């Protein structure tokens, strides 16, 4: 198992980005969460197999149609937190 923290910047708030991430992560059977940050970025934490997380990262780099992803910053984590499902956080 692997875990990652992802920071996404660009036009990623108010365009359904978190829900896009949650839907794809659930489809991939990952656990974790996505939330908006006060500075306009979206933060994602995901746990699962490395190859499956890489698939989510590919989706995040594109985002939903209304979004414009300017950058994706990825931090692989040492610990694998235990989450139940994948949720939107506020």
Dump the DSSP string for 4-64.
Answer: EEEEEEEE-SSSSHHHHHHHHHHHTT-EEEEEE-TTS-EEEEEEE-HHHHHHHHHHHHH--
If residue 86 lies in a helix (H) or strand (E), which one and from where to where? strand 86-89
- Catalytic residue numbers read 18, 36
């Amino acid at each position: 198992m692997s875990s990652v923290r992802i920071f996404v910047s660009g036009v990623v708030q108010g365009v359904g980005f978190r829900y896009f991430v949650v839907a794809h992560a659930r489809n991939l059977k990952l656990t974790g969460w996505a939330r908006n940050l006060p500075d306009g970025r979206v933060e994602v934490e995901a746990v699962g197999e490395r190859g499956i997380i890489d698939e989510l990262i590919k989706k995040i780099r594109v985002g939903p149609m209304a979004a414009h992803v300017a950058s994706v910053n990825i931090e692989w984590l040492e610990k694998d937190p235990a989450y139940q499902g994948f949720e939107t956080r506020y």
